[in-house]
Chain A
Amino acid sequence: MVGNFKLNKSIIGINLLICYREAIFEKRYLNNYLNGENNMKKLLSIFAVLAFAFSAHAGTLDDVKNRGFLKCGVTTGLAGFAAPDDSGEWAGLDADMCRAVAVAVFGDRSKVEFITTTGKSRFPTLASGEVDMLARNTTWTISRDVNLGFEFVGVNFYDGQGFMVPSALGVSSATELDGATVCIQTGTTTELNLADFFRLNGISYEALPIETNDEGKENLFAGRCDVYTTDASGLSSTRAAASNPDKWVVLPEIISKEPLGPLVRHGDHQWGDVVRWSLNAMIIAEELGITSENVDAQMSSNVPEVLRLLGVEGNYGEMLELSNDWAYQIIKQIGNYSESYEANVGPDTPLEIARGLNALWTQGGILYAPPFR
């Protein structure tokens, strides 16, 4: 919590610095510096040029390349999506998304710095340029896409909001929750869905606002709240982390659509394309049956789309200002979507989430990537 406070403040500071730098340089004072009109203006323009030297304004892709690593905003810890594993390495579906982008840019899965964000700090963190992208199980909504000035580049997990209660309560449906105390992460779409759901069903509840998933866990396990509500995947993750998972049940109601996906700042289309196609490359690889195991053998495939994806044919890498084997490297180092899913959230993991909606469109799900051509 404390860390987040500080993060927010530093973001504001950086934001102002960026504002200052851009506007001064772009709009007003460079000419005055060159002409040397008067001292006051000269002083200011020296400042502007110093600020310019401090960090040249260019596209995010160039910034990332110059810096030498990617800054990726993730959750403060949600098993299966982004959480440090036993060896302290970040692991999860969202962590893989970050790594895939790092691989696309640098060809190296370790060239990424994970920056933790709460539900609340994530948007200012991205808007200020503190991170290059967010892969933080964030729901794609119109207000975030339009009003907040972000761009969702795709969906890496189709989710929906559910409820989890102690099995001892004997509740079998969310409509029986009249009067319950509900733990809810603030600043999320789930907070709004929750109010809608209870209003629609004409039942009362008491909201206990919390900041992070860990806090929610703590309050739920201590009995401060009866119910925890968040995306169904998050519930599975929380349940898996309980000392005795059988003591908790996830109720059948799914009360919302939560398409979770990576997002970038609005207006930098080149960078948006890099992130979008890093995700799509993983999905297309699954469609085409390319895995980290067989990717080398697939280089000599006779399927044209495979050859295009792996960079054997065409110059799609160049178009994205990446190396031509960027997709090959993603598949080689991270794997295709299915591999990432099965390793992090699939039925064989403690989360035990079946593919469901997240299966390919050819297999009964809605996962669908545009053609690679």
Chain B
Amino acid sequence: MRSNLGFFSDEKFRSIFFQTLVVGLFALGLFFVISTTSYNLEKRNIATGWSFLQNPAGFDISFSPFLEFKSTDTHLKVYFVGVLNTLLVSITGCIAATILGFILGIVRLSSNWLLSRLVYIYVEFSRNVPLLLQIILWYSILIQLPRVKQSLQVLDVFYISNRGLYSPRPIFESGFSYVLIAIVLALISSFLINRWAKKRQDKTGQQFPVFSSSIGLIFIVPLILFFILGSPLSFEHPELKGFNFKGGLVIRPEFIAMFLALSIYTAAFISEIVRAGIMSVSKGQREASAAIGLKQTWIMRLIIIPQALRVIVPPLTSQYLNLTKNSSLGIAVGYADLVHGFGGISLNQTGQAIECMAIVMATYLSISLTISFFMNIYNRSIQFKEK
């Protein structure tokens, strides 16, 4: 039997053979795609290379909150502006979606019929309507706000119009850095207090009011310092001059539309994940903790949530990845993210489609892998540790 089929009857050989075959075919495919692409680019006289990154962009980007951008800056800088804008909307979106998702997931389980039904309707609506439509919906609502000359004034200092939300810009004067240092020190010491209190409680069972003491350290101490130093902070107020408001901080409707759509859409998924996580904790846990006399809030915080998190975190990671990748839809409303600026305008002005797309794809890949990396670390830290 063995002699007839030779090596092929050997399971080990067979598996190595097929694995090599698959890898080989993949490499061959990749080779053809790359070689034929470069062959055809050459044949069509399309210039290739990376030198375009150093050329001046020639166009302006108006939404660049972190870097000053001028039309004489390079395409490389367009890239950095795009990455920062993508990160801005992704990070704020993830934070908002998580908070909203957790609240909604818990409310969905509430015994209040009306509340849980309302959340149900919200979840079904926002996760079943395409995200692109939601983005466009929010944007079309926002540009129906009053024109800039008829801006709504809120609390005397905020102005809302279809050009965005204008608010005063804080200006830090000398001495304010001491306040910042105080806040950082307070954060570190609350962290240390928390660790010490936990250890002590494990040992002796005595509790320490960690929460209120941390609040005191982080908010009240720097606030007192702030007044002692003579309030070294002033505000630059936006003023309507000519066509637009000048000065102040502005949040553009393009950003608001993206932020709202992304966080509301993703929160619907997160709330379902949270609900599933909480429901996965067996009823006996709740009953047992009630039996030993824990308060309702403690049951949730100390018994249910830690166990639910083990179920929640892995799918939560994939929602963060989705949100980040979905932020590339910003192009629909002209939000100046990576795809719009570098993968769109630069690509189109230089014609270097393959290079630009490769960079954009590599960037999204790196961002996603970074998120996965940190979420995996977090996931490991909350897993059940066998002693």
Interface residues of A (CB under 8 A from B): 1-2, 16, 18-20, 22-24, 27, 119-120, 123-124, 127, 143-144, 146-149, 169, 177-181, 186-187, 191-192, 194-196, 198-199, 205-211, 218-219, 222-224, 226, 265-267
**Known contacts A19-B37, A120-B344, A147-B47; A180 and B62 CB within 8 A of each other:** no
| A-facing residues in B8-55 (Cβ within 8 Å) | 32-33, 35-37, 39-40, 43-47
**Known contacts A20-B36, A124-B353, A149-B44; A222 and B334 CB within 8 A of each other:** no
Contact A207 B162, beta carbon cutoff 8 Å = no
Is B367 in the interface zone, CB < 8 Å from A?
A: no
> B residues within 8 A CB of A266?
44-45
| A-facing residues in B222-246 (Cβ within 8 Å) | 241-244, 246
> A residues within 8 A CB of B241?
179
> A residues within 8 A CB of B37?
16, 19
Q: How far is the CA of A191 from the CA of B344 in the complex (A)?
A: 13
Task: Give chain B nearest CB distance to A296 CB in angstroms.
Answer: 43
Contact B242 A179, beta carbon cutoff 8 Å = yes
Give the 3 A-B residue pairs with the shortest CB-CB distance, closest first.
Answer: A187-B348, A195-B71, A23-B36
Q: How far is the CA of A124 from the CA of B46 in the complex (A)?
A: 12
> B residues within 8 A CB of A219?
143
With most chain A CB atoms within 10 A of its CB, the pick from B33, B62, B148, B340 is B62
Contact A186 B46, beta carbon cutoff 8 Å = no
Contact A207 B62, beta carbon cutoff 8 Å = yes
Q: How far is the CA of A267 from the CA of B243 in the complex (A)?
A: 49
| A-facing residues in B197-255 (Cβ within 8 Å) | 241-244, 246, 253
**Known contacts A143-B351, A148-B351, A195-B58; A223 and B244 CB within 8 A of each other:** no
Contact A186 B40, beta carbon cutoff 8 Å = no
Q: How far is the CA of A285 from the CA of B76 in the complex (A)?
A: 50
- Determine which of B44, B244, B349, B350 lies in contact with A181 in the assembled complex, contact meaning CB atoms within 8 Å: B244
Contact B243 A209, beta carbon cutoff 8 Å = no
Contact A187 B344, beta carbon cutoff 8 Å = yes
Task: Give chain A nearest CB distance to B359 CB in angstroms.
Answer: 16
Interface residues of B (CB under 8 A from A): 32-33, 35-37, 39-40, 43-47, 58-62, 71-72, 132, 143-144, 147-148, 162-163, 241-244, 246, 253, 331-332, 334, 336, 340, 344-345, 347-351, 353
**Known contacts A16-B37, A22-B40, A192-B59; A2 and B132 CB within 8 A of each other:** yes
Q: How far is the CA of A177 from the CA of B242 in the complex (A)?
A: 9
> A residues within 8 A CB of B345?
186-187, 191, 209
Task: Give chain B nearest CB distance to A44 CB in angstroms.
Answer: 8
Contact B244 A179, beta carbon cutoff 8 Å = yes
Q: How far is the CA of A77 from the CA of B39 in the complex (A)?
A: 35
Q: How far is the CA of A199 from the CA of B56 in the complex (A)?
A: 14
Q: How far is the CA of A119 from the CA of B59 in the complex (A)?
A: 15
Contact B243 A207, beta carbon cutoff 8 Å = no
Contact B39 A149, beta carbon cutoff 8 Å = no
> B residues within 8 A CB of A195?
58-60, 71
Contact B46 A127, beta carbon cutoff 8 Å = yes
> A residues within 8 A CB of B144?
222
In the complex formed, the residue of A with least CB distance to B332 is A1
In the complex formed, the residue of A with least CB distance to B32 is A20
Contact A187 B349, beta carbon cutoff 8 Å = yes
In the complex formed, the residue of A with least CB distance to B341 is A209
Task: Give chain A nearest CB distance to B309 CB in angstroms.
Answer: 37
Q: How far is the CA of A248 from the CA of B5 in the complex (A)?
A: 84
> B residues within 8 A CB of A198?
60
- Determine which of B35, B36, B143, B332 lies in contact with A222 in the assembled complex, contact meaning CB atoms within 8 Å: B143
In the complex formed, the residue of B with least CB distance to A190 is B59
Contact A267 B344, beta carbon cutoff 8 Å = no
- In the assembled complex, 9 residue pairs joining A and B whose CB atoms fall closer than 8 Å, in A order, are A19-B40, A20-B36, A22-B40, A123-B351, A124-B353, A187-B344, A196-B58, A196-B71, A223-B148
Task: Give chain B nearest CB distance to A242 CB in angstroms.
Answer: 16
Task: Give chain B nearest CB distance to A187 CB in angstroms.
Answer: 3
In the complex formed, the residue of A with least CB distance to B335 is A209
- Determine which of B39, B71, B331, B340 lies in contact with A199 in the assembled complex, contact meaning CB atoms within 8 Å: B71
With most chain B CB atoms within 10 A of its CB, the pick from A178, A207, A224 is A224
**Known contacts A119-B348, A149-B46, A179-B241; A208 and B334 CB within 8 A of each other:** yes
> B residues within 8 A CB of A186?
59, 334, 340, 344-345, 348
Q: How far is the CA of A16 from the CA of B243 in the complex (A)?
A: 48
Contact B39 A177, beta carbon cutoff 8 Å = no
- Determine which of A127, A169, A196 lies in contact with B44 in the assembled complex, contact meaning CB atoms within 8 Å: A127
Q: How far is the CA of A218 from the CA of B144 in the complex (A)?
A: 11
Q: How far is the CA of A104 from the CA of B244 in the complex (A)?
A: 53
Contact B39 A23, beta carbon cutoff 8 Å = yes
Task: Give chain A nearest CB distance to B120 CB in angstroms.
Answer: 29
Contact B243 A19, beta carbon cutoff 8 Å = no
Q: How far is the CA of A215 from the CA of B144 in the complex (A)?
A: 14
Task: Give chain B nearest CB distance to A179 CB in angstroms.
Answer: 5
Contact A267 B45, beta carbon cutoff 8 Å = yes
Q: How far is the CA of A211 from the CA of B331 in the complex (A)?
A: 9
Task: Give chain A nearest CB distance to B172 CB in angstroms.
Answer: 25
Q: How far is the CA of A149 from the CA of B331 in the complex (A)?
A: 26
> B residues within 8 A CB of A178?
242-243
In the complex formed, the residue of A with least CB distance to B329 is A5
Contact A209 B340, beta carbon cutoff 8 Å = yes
> A residues within 8 A CB of B43?
22, 267
Q: How far is the CA of A196 from the CA of B70 in the complex (A)?
A: 11
**Known contacts A219-B143, A267-B44; A24 and B36 CB within 8 A of each other:** yes
> A residues within 8 A CB of B132?
1-2
Q: How far is the CA of A165 from the CA of B214 in the complex (A)?
A: 56
Contact B60 A148, beta carbon cutoff 8 Å = no
Task: Give chain A nearest CB distance to B41 CB in angstroms.
Answer: 8
Q: How far is the CA of A160 from the CA of B308 in the complex (A)?
A: 64
> A residues within 8 A CB of B40?
18-19, 22-23
Q: How far is the CA of A196 from the CA of B59 in the complex (A)?
A: 8
Q: How far is the CA of A260 from the CA of B71 in the complex (A)?
A: 25
